[in-house]
């Protein structure tokens, strides 16, 4: 179901590129650096956890399609897995950086990113760059379902890990002020090294530059 033109217009404003760089802010991150539910794990880096640059990203829980090999074929034929955690992505072991891309079905810039990310991932994977995208909301600003996820994957021939957010982890922990949201994460420490909200391809340039550093 499509949103009405009025609703879509209001939602599109949330993708306004003039809002790029708005800091992430979640009041759900304890100020004392205490634990979050499912924040870590036996093989996950210890906190304190947070959403700012330099913070260790909590071990968030999603569901979807986990790509087992770099730059594989479209993920539409893979088994659906629930749960999928950030620890699962980190366990792949052949990557150095994670680009965590958060998208919404209603967001036009998110759709534009989905058009270009498969080709970029094909180039990045061999350099140690892992891409995982989370479809968090549908066109009615409700939590995206598996059906929404499957439609998105078919529309964009996704060849990287593609997830959705049935537990509302993005709003609970990351609380993005706008979409899309991109986090660059050092997989050895799970620390956030760059964050970007809104429509700005510079985050992809930065990600590739990090991969080119040996």
pLDDT the model gives residue 102: 98
Mean pLDDT of the chain: 83
Task: Give the phi and the psi of residue 84 in degrees, each rounded to 5.
Answer: -125, 125
Cα–Cα dist 108/128, whole Å? 28
Summarize pLDDT for 68-102 with one digit per residue, the tens: 766 667 788 889 999 999 999 999 778 999 999 99
The pLDDT > 90 percentage for the chain reads 70
Instruction: Kindly indicate the confidence band of residue 47, based on its pLDDT and cuts at 50, 70 and 90.
Output: confident
Report the alpha-carbon distance of residue 10 to residue 145 in Å, rounded.
22
Q: Which superfamily does 5-212 belong to?
A: Glutaredoxin (3.40.30.10)
- Prediction pTM value: 0.82
Lowest mean pLDDT among 9-23, 102-116, 159-173, 174-188: 9-23
Residues β-bridged to residue 101: 133, 182
* CA dihedral for 152, 156, 157, 160, sign (positive or negative): negative
Tell me how far CA of residue 41 lies from CA of 25, 47, 88, in angstroms: 24, 10, 11
- Residue 56 contacts residue 185 (beta carbons within 8 Å): no
Out of 24-28, 29-33, 192-196, give the one with best mean pLDDT.
192-196
pLDDT for 3-18, tens place per residue? 443 333 334 434 433 2
């Amino acid at each position: 179901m499509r949103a009405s033109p009025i609703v879509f217009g209001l939602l599109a404003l949330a993708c306004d590129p003039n809002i790029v760089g708005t800091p992430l802010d979640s009041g759900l991150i304890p100020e004392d650096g205490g634990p979050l539910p499912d924040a870590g794990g036996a093989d996950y880096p210890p906190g304190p956890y947070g959403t700012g640059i330099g913070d260790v990203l909590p071990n968030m829980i999603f569901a979807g399609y986990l790509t087992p090999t770099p730059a594989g074929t479209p993920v539409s034929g893979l088994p659906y897995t629930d749960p999928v955690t950030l620890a699962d992505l980190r366990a792949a072991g052949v990557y150095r950086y994670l680009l965590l891309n958060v998208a919404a079905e209603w967001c036009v810039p998110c759709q534009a990113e989905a058009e270009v990310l498969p080709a970029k991932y094909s180039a990045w994977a061999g350099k140690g760059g892992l891409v995982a995208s989370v479809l968090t909301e549908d066109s009615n600003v409700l939590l995206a379902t598996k059906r929404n996820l499957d439609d998105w994957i078919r529309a964009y021939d996704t060849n990287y890990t593609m997830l959705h957010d049935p537990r509302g982890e993005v709003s609970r922990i990351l609380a993005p002020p706008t979409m899309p949201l991109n986090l660059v994460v050092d997989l050895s420490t799970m620390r956030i090294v760059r964050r970007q909200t809104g429509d700005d391809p510079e985050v992809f340039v930065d990600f590739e530059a990090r991969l080119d550093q040996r």
